[in-house]
Chain A
Amino acid sequence: MYGPHPQPDEIPLREREDAMGAYLMMFAAVAVALPLPVINLIAAIVYYFVNRRKSDFIHFHSLQSLLSQFPTTLLNWGLLYWSLQIWLFGNCTICIEFWAYIGLVVFANIVYFVFSLIAAIKAYRGEMYYFFGIGSYCYRVVFKRH
């Protein structure tokens, strides 16, 4: 049993802005000028816990934004770790796998960036937007009524 699905014209502008804001947390690291992959995740977690009770619509988008951070955050951490091993500790050398991994990380970040921006715009318009895999899970978590 799932709760009622909010329609765009039923959602106040304030809620739409808050939902949009959830996706903008991906820029938190840029805002504090610290290139640490964890900053965005912390910002998304804080934003989620501050806003999740405001409405189902905000809850859905902030949860989706939070969960979508994990894959890229892990990949970025992996790149940071590998880079430090090469340039700081000298435990590894630059190899073809490293360049492939950089390519993967760049691709993942671009995908994440593009889809987050689309989701932010959709949220601002009061629409639902489902990320592959994560979206349906968030829908079940937020709109399921016991």
Chain B
Amino acid sequence: MDFRLTIYQENHTVIVLDFPPLILFGNSEHSDLLLNNQNLFIMMKFDILHQEHYSRGELLLRSILGFFYILIPHGFLLGFLGIAAGVLHFLTFWVVLFTGRYPESWFEFQVKYQRWNLRVSARILNMADGYPAFGLDAEDDKTTLEISYPTEISRGLVLVRAFFGFVYVLIPHGLILGVLGIGVLFVNFIAFWAVLFTAKFPRSMFNFQLSYLRWSQRVSNYLMYLTDQYPPFHGEPDSEDAGENILDADVH
């Protein structure tokens, strides 16, 4: 089944496009936003809310005791889920190889698992206040991660990724992310003091960390066969002006 996209332009002309379905996983509110808004071509939506004010008390609490009350309980559960995610990842390779499809519920599980990871990472990096929710189905108003479901995955690319992913993905991206990771540690340290004294997270530092996380997520998505799109060498969000001329989009 293909989706039909009807574009009503300002000059009253109509463009009709047929294309394979992109099923967007996430809560229905976000999915509706993505489908009804101008972002139909976004492959991944990855965001952390930049708060107006950050709690200094929480910052100190997280910095001193975060290991015990965030990392240990969440890490314990995420560790077990990580084993399940790893098993599914291994099996996905074979399933994609034979069927050309990523099983939908497995894909959903992987996205939910990544979403939980993001919730925890955002708190550990002091980018969001509040305690990260437990559970694969938990919702979080500070973080957003949605990945469009690919109805078909290239079998050839799966093979290439499995055997040569280390060479053409991990080495180039890993080297840059490794260097940037040192930068993130440094920036995070500076941001800690900025938040402590001003209760504000400097926007540029926030964006730097966010870009780093988004970039890492894209690399991870690619290696986990969640997308066929080779990760770009930047952490900017997917183009939001891809459909800037679209005034209204009906998906049938």
A interface residues, Cβ below 8 angstroms from B: 13-14, 17-18, 20-21, 24-25, 27-28, 30-32, 43, 46, 51, 124
A27 touches B91 (CB 8 A): yes
Closest CB-CB distance, A53 to chain B, in whole Å? 13
With the chains together, A24 CA to B91 CA distance in Å?
A: 7
Known: A14-B105, A17-B103, A17-B104. A32 touches B95 (CB 8 A): no
B77 at the interface (CB under 8 A from A): no
Given contacts A13-B101, A32-B83, A32-B86, 6 further A-B contacts (CB under 8 A): A14-B104, A17-B104, A18-B105, A21-B91, A24-B94, A51-B105
Across the interface, A18 reaches (CB within 8 A) one of B89, B90, B91, B103, namely B103
B63 at the interface (CB under 8 A from A): no
CB neighbours (8 Å) of B65 from chain A are: none
CB neighbours (8 Å) of A43 from chain B are: 87
Across the interface, A46 reaches (CB within 8 A) one of B84, B90, B95, B105, namely B84
Q: Which of B1-25 contact A (CB under 8 A)?
A: none
A30 touches B90 (CB 8 A): yes
Size of the chain B interface, CB-CB below 8 angstroms: 15
Closest CB-CB distance, A94 to chain B, in whole Å? 34
Closest to B106 in A: A21
With the chains together, A46 CA to B90 CA distance in Å?
A: 17
With the chains together, A31 CA to B89 CA distance in Å?
A: 8
B interface residues, Cβ below 8 angstroms from A: 83-84, 86-87, 89-91, 94-95, 99, 101, 103-106
Closest to B103 in A: A17
CB neighbours (8 Å) of A30 from chain B are: 90
CB neighbours (8 Å) of A25 from chain B are: 87
CB neighbours (8 Å) of B84 from chain A are: 46
CB neighbours (8 Å) of B101 from chain A are: 13, 17
Closest to B109 in A: A50
B87 touches A28 (CB 8 A): yes
Across the interface, A31 reaches (CB within 8 A) one of B86, B95, B99, B103, namely B86
Across the interface, B91 reaches (CB within 8 A) one of A31, A46, A124, namely A31
With the chains together, A20 CA to B91 CA distance in Å?
A: 11
With the chains together, A11 CA to B240 CA distance in Å?
A: 37
A27 touches B90 (CB 8 A): yes
With the chains together, A25 CA to B83 CA distance in Å?
A: 13
Closest to A29 in B: B87
A32 touches B103 (CB 8 A): no
With the chains together, A120 CA to B105 CA distance in Å?
A: 16
B87 touches A32 (CB 8 A): yes
Closest to B83 in A: A32
Closest CB-CB distance, A23 to chain B, in whole Å? 10
With the chains together, A28 CA to B90 CA distance in Å?
A: 8
A31 touches B105 (CB 8 A): no
With the chains together, A27 CA to B106 CA distance in Å?
A: 16
With the chains together, A51 CA to B84 CA distance in Å?
A: 14
CB neighbours (8 Å) of A28 from chain B are: 87
CB neighbours (8 Å) of A13 from chain B are: 101, 104
With the chains together, A27 CA to B89 CA distance in Å?
A: 12
With the chains together, A27 CA to B87 CA distance in Å?
A: 8
Closest to A21 in B: B103
CB neighbours (8 Å) of A14 from chain B are: 103-105
